[in-house]
Every structure is written in structure tokens, then in C-alpha cells.
């Protein structure tokens, strides 16, 4: 069993100064304990913030090329540990290993390289009239991250913040903290100056809240639930911190009447079920024309039934378990809610998939048809493989339904014409829209409208989030 009993503060591995008992990391596939992890306290947060503050001036005033050099070293270090990262994430949260290699390890490793390059071409200064406008690192950043794409979420924050010249205190999720330790080991080996990056593991309500309330933290960058995001905003407001929030979603995939239905339905179901539905951008609502409902429903059922749910270390599995017992219970509760609301259960349902009724937090990929747009199943984030098919009368109706939730993270449009799809996409109140199956692009901004958050990650936009802006006026 893995034991992580030290925090990484001020360039050193140190025990917690508090006396919280460690947390246990559980494999969702076997329900067995795979690791114990130290739980920090508010006192550890004080030490980490002090270290980060102490390192800030020197780090932020280093030439950009030097900071980029460190990011490249971290990139190389992570690349050498790619296999460990994928194994760790699959063990702790259950994504099939084959997918973890590409998504859970490949993407964050690439993010460090991307920021090493982007920061060197970024314009930190510009002249406007009689002023010089300069962008400077905001200061000490508290990064708080979830369990669904653990290192990916961490990299989105840490790589951009370090590139910008900020120093960081990271608190990963207790459900999936293992890869944060791999990152800290790599950072240490890369020789990053002491205090530039610090890791304090522990409870959200203890370590997370202490970070958000700390007067010497300049910015909180948070990814997680809308519920926790609200609390974090409240805490940050006492000291007027910048609070960047990447929150939940209830994204819609709109299939227009001229789309190629087999491709569009397959793509929509895939965008809902990736990572067993535990993706903030999951396309959990599939919107189809009323006249094509039967055809779309039949196709969705066939695609869903082709998923092979099973051991995430088995090469043939295309869906693993959900990340925790609590998550499994939530998914099954929402399936009950769908049934109680009168939606048509087309495939799946509560309980374990066939042959998986022993150990493991497995759920059945589920599709509901004729879901009412205002029902709870169509409004609330399930965070599991549950798809709601909703019918619409015409394009205006589709857009009204797509925009009719408190969220605004993502969405999709399928059409024979990219141009027509784009016209519909422009009317969607979301931060990103995938057109005809378009996929995630790290150079583009990522973030939400409405209650899906604020701020943007990735690309140069992610860098901008960690910068302050200042102007000098000259008498001319
Ligand atoms: P969560 O909100 O429970 O926890 C996220 C992190 O916040 C964890 O590290 C947790 O310990 C910490 N936390 C919890 N309460 C806190 C508090 N009061 N103060 C400070 N920190 C606190 O979310 P989760 O269950 O880990 O992740 C799932 C959620 O994350 C989903 O709602 C999903 O949509 C969202 N998410 C959003 C994005 C995005 O980019 N928009 C990406 C991934 C996940």
C-alpha cells in the first residue's frame, strides 16, 4: 500500500504540524484501500502560504525564458513518469487504463510544454497613448482541484500560474491525490526554487477553506462543484481575492435535422459517457427533432449497449467504475428520480451491470427518452453515465431548451453544414461548443457561463487569468 505521510512545503517534504488522521484512497474497482495520505491543517496552510509568499518576488522577476526552462524540465520529468501517472489515476478513480494513458497522463504532460512555449510569445507589455500597460503575476495562488481528471485540472492551474510568475499552494481532491504527489516529486527533481510550488493535502473544509480565507493568498483558482464554488466565493470575498471558478455543467448536444444521425448520436453518447459520465463538459442532454425521436433513441440504445463496463485495467473495458461509493449512490438516485418523473427508461437502470455485482462501484450506462426539459433529470448534474434524450419542435425551441438550465459550460451541435451549426452555436450561452464532434483544444479558452463558473483556463487566456494589469502614465 502506498503511504504519503509528508506535505511538500518550502522545497522540502515535511510532516503535518497538525494531528489530523490520514485519509484513505480507495480503488473504485476493488473497494480496497490502496493508499493513505496525510491530512494537513490550517497551520500547514499558513506555512505553505508563507513559503509561497517568500518565493514570489524572486520567481516573478525571473526572465520569462528561465521560468519556461523550469516548465520544460517539469514536462520532461512528468513524461518520464507517464506510466506511473496513468496507473495512479486509473487505480484511484477508475478510468480505463488505455484511456488514462492518453487523457489523464498525456494531456497534463503536454500542458507544461504548452505553457513553456506560450509564455515566451506572450505580450506582457504594450503602449497605449501616453501609457505603458504591463501585466504582472497576481501573487500567491491557491489551487483547489477535483478528482475526475486529477492531474489535468492541476496542470491547467499550476503550469499557467508558474508561467505567469505566480507561486502556488495546491490542494488536490482527497479521492484522487496520488498524481499530485508525483507532480511534487517531479517539481523537486526539476530544482524549482523552494516555495514556488507547495502541496498541502487534506479536507476541503479544513485545508481548502484555510487557503480561501488566508489574507496572503491573492487568488483562488478552483475546479469542482458549484456548491463548493459558492462557498469559496464567499470566503474569498472577505479579502477581495480574485476567485476563478470552473464548476459543473448540464451540457446539451443539439442534433439538427440535416445531421448524419448515426454519427451524431454516436458522438453525443460518447461525449456523455466518457470517464463514466464524470466529465464537467459531459453532453448529458441529447436534443433531437420530435420527428426523428424513434430513430435517435434506437441508435442511442445500440451505442450504449456496445459499451463494455468492467475492470479498468482490462484492455477490453471501455467504461470503468465510477470514482466512489458516494458517486455510485448518486447515479442510482438520479436513475430513480428519472423513473419517478416519468421519463422512458430505454436501456440501463439502477444496480450493477451484468456480471459485475461483486466488488466495485460499477453502474449501468443508462439512457432515458422523452425527458421533460424542466425535470430534475434534465436540470441537475448527475456526474455519471446517464443520458437524457429530449425532443424539440424547431431550432428556436432547441436553443431555448439548451439554454434553459442554470449551467453554461459546454455543448455540441451536429449538422450537415458547419456554418449552420456555428449559427446555432453562437446562440448557445456556454463557454465552448463542439461542432460536429470537434474535440478539446488546449490553445482555446476553457470555462463556463452562468453558474458553470467564471475565468478561463488553457491557452493564452489561462495565462491572463493569473496576471494583474497595471498602467504607467507619462507626460508627453
Ligand atoms: P468538490 O467541489 O466536492 O471538490 C473539489 C475540490 O474542492 C476538492 O479538492 C475538495 O476537497 C475541495 N473543497 C470541497 N469543499 C470545499 C470548501 N468548502 N472550501 C474549499 N475547498 C473545498 O467536487 P468534486 O466532487 O471533487 O468534483 C466534481 C465536480 O467538479 C463536478 O460538479 C464537476 O462538474 C466539477 N468539475 C468542473 C470542471 C470544470 O472545469 N468546469 C472540471 C472538472 C470537474
Please, are residues 159 and 236 in contact by the beta-carbon 8 Å criterion? no
- Domain extents in the chain: 2-247+452-472, 252-435
Distance 221 CA to ligand 1 centre (A): 11
Is the distance from the beta carbon of residue 148 to the nearest atom of ligand 1 less than 6 Å? yes
Q: What is the pLDDT of residues 243-297, one digit of tens each?
A: 999 999 999 999 999 999 999 999 999 999 999 999 999 999 999 999 999 999 9
> Average pLDDT of 325-343?
98
DSSP class of 352 = P
Atom of ligand 1 nearest to the CA of 144: 9
457 Cβ inside 6 Å of ligand 1 = no
204 C-beta closer than 6 A to ligand 1:
yes
Which residue puts its alpha carbon closest to atom 31 of ligand 1? 225
Share of the chain above pLDDT 90, in %: 99
Judge whether 336 counts as a catalytic residue: no
252-435 CATH choice from 3.40.309.10, 3.40.50.2300, 3.20.20.80, 3.40.50.150 = 3.40.309.10
Catalytically annotated residue among 246, 272, 381, 457: 246
Identify the CATH class of 2-247+452-472.
alpha beta
Residue 113, pLDDT score: 98
* Model pLDDT, residue 202: 98
Helices (H), 248-349: 261-273, 293-305, 325-340
Helices (H) and strands (E) in the chain, counts: 16, 21
Q: What pLDDT score was predicted for residue 180?
A: 98
Whether the full predicted model's pTM is greater than 0.95, yes or no, is: yes
Q: Look at residues 328, 249, 343 and name the one whose alpha carbon lies nearest to residue 297.
A: 343
User: Does the active-site annotation cover 294?
Assistant: no
Q: What is the pLDDT of residue 476?
A: 87
| Distance of CA 316 from the midpoint of ligand 1 (Å) | 30
Beta strands in 418-465 (DSSP E): 434-435, 453-454
Amino acid at each position: 500500500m502506498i503511504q504519503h505521510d509528508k506535505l511538500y512545503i518550502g522545497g522540502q517534504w515535511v510532516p503535518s504540524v497538525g494531528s489530523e488522521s490520514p485519509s484513505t484512497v480507495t480503488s473504485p474497482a476493488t473497494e480496497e484501500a490502496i493508499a493513505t495520505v496525510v491530512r494537513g491543517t490550517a497551520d500547514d496552510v499558513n506555512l505553505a502560504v508563507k513559503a509561497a509568499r517568500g518565493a514570489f518576488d524572486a520567481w516573478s522577476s525571473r526572465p520569462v525564458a528561465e521560468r519556461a526552462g523550469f516548465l520544460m524540465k517539469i514536462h520532461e520529468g512528468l513524461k518520464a513518469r507517464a506510466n506511473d501517472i496513468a496507473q495512479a489515476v486509473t487505480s484511484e478513480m477508475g478510468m480505463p487504463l488505455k484511456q488514462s494513458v492518453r487523457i489523464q497522463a498525456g494531456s497534463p504532460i503536454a500542458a507544461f510544454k504548452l505553457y513553456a512555449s506560450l509564455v515566451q510569445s506572450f505580450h506582457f507589455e504594450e503602449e497605449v497613448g501616453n501609457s505603458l500597460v504591463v501585466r504582472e503575476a497576481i501573487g500567491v495562488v491557491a489551487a483547489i482541484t477535483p478528482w475526475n481528471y486529477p492531474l489535468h485540472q492541476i496542470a491547467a492551474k499550476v503550469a499557467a500560474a508558474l508561467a505567469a510568475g505566480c507561486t502556488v499552494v495546491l490542494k488536490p481532491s482527497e479521492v484522487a491525490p496520488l498524481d499530485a504527489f508525483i507532480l511534487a516529486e517531479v517539481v523537486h527533481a526539476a530544482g524549482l526554487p523552494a516555495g514556488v510550488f507547495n502541496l498541502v493535502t487534506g479536507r476541503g473544509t479544513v485545508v481548502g477553506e484555510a487557503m480561501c480565507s488566508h489574507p496572503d493568498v491573492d487568488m483562488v483558482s478552483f475546479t469542482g462543484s458549484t456548491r463548493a464554488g459558492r462557498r469559496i466565493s464567499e470566503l474569498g470575498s472577505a479579502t477581495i481575492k480574485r476567485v476563478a471558478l470552473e464548476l459543473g455543467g448540464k451540457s446539451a448536444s443539439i442534433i439538427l435535422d440535416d445531421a448524419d444521425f448515426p454519427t451524431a448520436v454516436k458522438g453525443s453518447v460518447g461525449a456523455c459517457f466518457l470517464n463514466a459520465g464524470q466529465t464537467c463538459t459531459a453532453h448529458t442532454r441529447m436534443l433531437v427533432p420530435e420527428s426523428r425521436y424513434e430513430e435517435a433513441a434506437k441508435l442511442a440504445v445500440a451505442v450504449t449497449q456496445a459499451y463494455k463496463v468492467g475492470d479498468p485495467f482490462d484492455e477490453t473495458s471501455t467504461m470503468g467504475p465510477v470514482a466512489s461509493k458516494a458517486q455510485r449512490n448518486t447515479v442510482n438516485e438520479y436513475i430513480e428520480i428519472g423513473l419517478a418523473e416519468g421519463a422512458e427508461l430505454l436501456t440501463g437502470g439502477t444496480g450493477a451491470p451484468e456480471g459485475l455485482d461483486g466488488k466495485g462501484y460499477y453502474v449501468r450506462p443508462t439512457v432515458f427518452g422523452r425527458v421533460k426539459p424542466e425535470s430534475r433529470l434534465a436540470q441537475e448534474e448527475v456526474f455519471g453515465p446517464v443520458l437524457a434524450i429530449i425532443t424539440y419542435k424547431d431550432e428556436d425551441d432547441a436553443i431555448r431548451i439548451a439554454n434553459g438550465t442554470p449551467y453554461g459550460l459546454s455543448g455540441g451541435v451536429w449538422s450537415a453544414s458547419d456554418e449552420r451549426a456555428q449559427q446555432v452555436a453562437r446562440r448557445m450561452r456556454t463557454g465552448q461548443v463542439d461542432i460536429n464532434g470537434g474535440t478539446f483544444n488546449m490553445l482555446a479558452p476553457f470555462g463556463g457561463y452562468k453558474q458553470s463558473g467564471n475565468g478561463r483556463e488553457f491557452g493564452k487566456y489561462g495565462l491572463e487569468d493569473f496576471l494583474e494589469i497595471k498602467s504607467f502614465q507619462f507626460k508627453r
